[in-house]
Every structure is written in structure tokens, then in C-alpha cells.
Amino acid sequence: MDQLEVRVQPPDQAARELAAEIAGLIRARAEEGLAFVLGLATGRTPLGLYAELARLHREEGLSFEHVVAVNLDEYEGVEPDDPRSFRAWTRAHLLDAVGVPVERALIPPPDLAVAAEVAWCRAFEERLRALGGIDLQVLGLGRNGHIGFNEPGSARESRTRRVRLAPETRQDAVDTWDGLDGVPTHAITQGIATILEARRLRALAFGLAKRDIVRRTLEEPVGPRIPATFLREHPDARLCVDEPALGRG
């Protein structure tokens, strides 16, 4: 319990250090002839990290040939080529830049029929096990404490599943979807138990808007009320925050 490392640093420094850690792990696994399974989050927070990984690939020859990318979540009812889908977003901001084809990316399909979602989620979990699990999972913190789309109330034992998005989560996406009516109401997300099975968890939270949820993540009891508190149970988890997010700036 309470094993979460907190590292205070500017966002650009956090991006460089985490990218360097990921690069070292990718190279080490490649030397062994093994794939590196990288779990990806979406949104503004990890953009600096993905830009730095793309730079390492472009300028320093970091090969992603043996990388398998796995997305945390995806909106329901969105066309795959819609730039607002996480599938398209991940390709645009990382996968295409580092040469990871869709065939080596495990991403929930945004246009999956509701009736097929249970079977897909079960197959997703089986595929993760076949890959040997996620080596490093990148995470952000929602302002209500969600990780992935595990909203408050999500059980520690939860697995990949369809979820209803909380009102505040949908409100935070209003600008992207040109109004609340356009924001999807449901999504597919990895569960808390699925996330905690990753070997390494690296969460990022920057700026004054994340100050309250960073405090609650670190101080409130571990439990489903604030799903991000479950990070404190993981043996190799790190929360990277800047001074404003920690309440110092």
C-alpha cells in the first residue's frame, strides 16, 4: 500500500525522462528478441511524451519494430477514421510517426456494435495475456479521478468492459465534440485490474486544473471513490506532476 512514487518536474522534463525510460526498455527487450508492449493513454497530457518518442525514432534511430501498442480506451459509436476517435488520435500523434502499423496495435474499435462488445472485451483480455501483459502503461488522471475511463465507483476487480461516461468526463470533452450533445455517452475501457497488471505504471498530471485530483489521489483512502488511488497499490508506479499540480506554484 502507498507505494506510489511522486516525481515533481516540469512537463518537458517529465516527457524526456519517461521517453528515455521507454526507449531503454524497448532496446533491452529487442536485444532479447522480445516484443515490448506499450500501453498508451490519449489526451493533451501525454502529447509531449509522444513527441519525444517520435524525435528519438527520427533523430536517434529508436526502432519500434518490436513494439506492440495497446490503447487504454475508446469512445463508443465513432467512425474509425474520425480524428476524435482514440484510434485515429493515437495514429496521428504517435503510431504513424514511429512506424507502428495498425496490425501491431491493440485498440478497441470505436464502431463496434453494442451486441458484440462483451465478446470483444473478453478477447482483448485474452490477447493481453497472450502478449505476456503490458510492460509499461502510460496514464493520465481525469479530474474526477478516473484512469482510463474507469469512473468513480469502478471496482478494483473490474476488467475491460463497456462503461457509461460520467457527466464531468463528458463536459471536459465538449470542445472536442462541438457541444455536449455530440460527446459520446459510452466507451470501452480497460478495467482497474487490467491496468494494475501492467509491470510499470507511469501517470502524468500537469497544471493547476489537476491540483485537486492530485491531492485526492495521494491523500484519500484507496478505493473506488477515486479510482486513481488504486495506483498506490502497484509495486512500480510513478506519478509525474509539476509544481502547480502539486500545489506549490
Catalytic annotation, residues: 73, 144, 146, 151
C-alpha torsion angle, residues 203, 206, 209, 215 (rounded to 10):
60
Q: DSSP assignment of 165-188, as one string?
A: PPHHHHHHTHHHHTSGGGS-SEEE
| One-character DSSP codes across 123-171 | HHHHHHHHHT--SEEEEE--TTS-BTTB-TT--TT--SEEEEPPHHHHH
| Closest C-alpha among 112, 97, 45, 43 to residue 71 | 43
d(CA 86, CA 199): 23
Backbone angles phi, psi at 156, to 5 degrees: -55, -35
Listed in sequence order, the residues at least 6 apart from 17 whose beta carbon sits closer than 8 Å to its beta carbon are: 9
Element (H, E) at 204: strand 200-205
Exposure class string for 38-66: b at 16+ Cβ within 10 A, else e: bbbbbeebbebbbbbbbbbbeeeebebeb
